[in-house]
Amino acid sequence: MGTWRLAAWVPFLLIVSCGCGNDKGGPTAPGTEAPRPELGKVEAPGLHNVYRLTETLYSGSSPEGDEGFESLRKLGAKTIISVDGARPDVGRAHKFGLRYVHLPIGYDGVPEGQGKRIAKAVRDLPGAVYVHCHHGKHRGPAAAAVAHLCVDERCGVETALDEMRRAGTDPHYAGLYAAPRDLRRPTREELDRVPDDFPEVAQVAGLAQVMVQIDERWDRLKEARAAGWKVPLAHPDIDPPHEALQLVEQYREALRLLEVDARPEELRRWLAEAEKDAEGLEAALRGRAGVGVEAAWKKAGAACTRCHAGHRDLPRRR
């Protein structure tokens, strides 16, 4: 899926008073950014890192237990959009009269098609909308910022980026920050054509698929190593520290898979160690570790090899 290119204001955009939801309101002058309403951090039991982007759009962490869903209900939420890979707690949401929409994204960006689906859900589904990832710091704020930018002509790119910074989105997630910067704002007609069959639980990658993605990150890191830990001339899209960061997140996602929970404890321990060692490699590549890059590389590679030998490379028990 292609990245989005920021285009000039399109006169047929949906006009909403608060930027999202199904409120009614008048337009503002093309190309201008209206003053934002009172925005800021929201403290609510069972929720973390919650921020209000508009009167009807929030971003934050996944709700924790009845307390979190009750807090969402009190905030006026009717729709919850999860961009996290984990299975949403749909049953608990229904208990509190809330609808779940599951539109997961990765840490490498917001694909154009998925971004439009998130924006259409924010635009068309009822009540205040709460967009969340796991901790509410990276993917959730990025998806919410993209949706805000898509459905509110008064929201500019810098506003969207500020919303991400305010939530604590790490600037090292280059793909997430590129999403609003490269956005070509869709017209109302384009959003109208986006399918509205929003799933409550989406199909997500299993352990085998995640491991394929981990292997791909390792291959890209090997190319960076061959280039002296610099951007390879033949692959200018490979940024070594960013590749290591993506590797960290892949291990983290693997640890949260239900099928991993069903595997031996040893696998979970090794994955956790691999995540920690990948963090060490990223830190070394950014020059903030006490060890050299090569030492960190070998340590991270050893963790990967150990896990493969103990699990991946063994014949499957029948």
User: Tens of pLDDT along 141-154?
Assistant: 999 999 999 999 99
pLDDT of residue 8: 36
Q: CA 29, CA 17: separation in Å to the nearest integer?
A: 13
Q: By mean pLDDT, which of 6-10, 88-92, 285-289 is the weakest?
A: 6-10
Residues 117/150, Cβ–Cβ less than 8 Å? no
* pLDDT value at 314 more than 50: no
* pLDDT value at 28 more than 70: no
pLDDT of residue 240: 95
How confident is the prediction for the chain on average, in pLDDT? 84
pLDDT tens digits along 101-114: 999 998 889 999 99
What is this structure's pTM?
Answer: 0.67
Q: Give the pLDDT band of residue 308 (cuts 50, 70, 90).
A: low
Helix (H) or strand (E) holding 101: strand 99-102
Centre a 10 Å sphere on the Cβ of residue 189 and count the other Cβ atoms it contains. Answer: 11
The predicted model gives 73-82 an average pLDDT of 96
pLDDT of residue 312: 43
The predicted model gives 164-188 an average pLDDT of 94
- Is the alpha carbon torsion for 219, 223, 229, 231 positive or negative? negative
Q: Which two tokens stand for residue 75?
A: 């905030």
Domain locations in the chain as residue ranges = 40-192, 207-312
The predicted model gives 211-217 an average pLDDT of 84
73: left (phi over 0), alpha (psi -120 to 50) or beta: alpha
57 φ/ψ angles, rounded to the nearest 5 degrees = -140, 125
Q: Was domain 40-192 assigned CATH 2.130.10.10? A: no
Q: Give the pLDDT band of residue 210 (cuts 50, 70, 90).
A: confident
pLDDT tens digits along 265-298: 888 888 999 999 999 999 999 998 677 999 999 9
Compute CA 110 distance to the chain's CA centroid, rounded to the nearest angstrom: 7
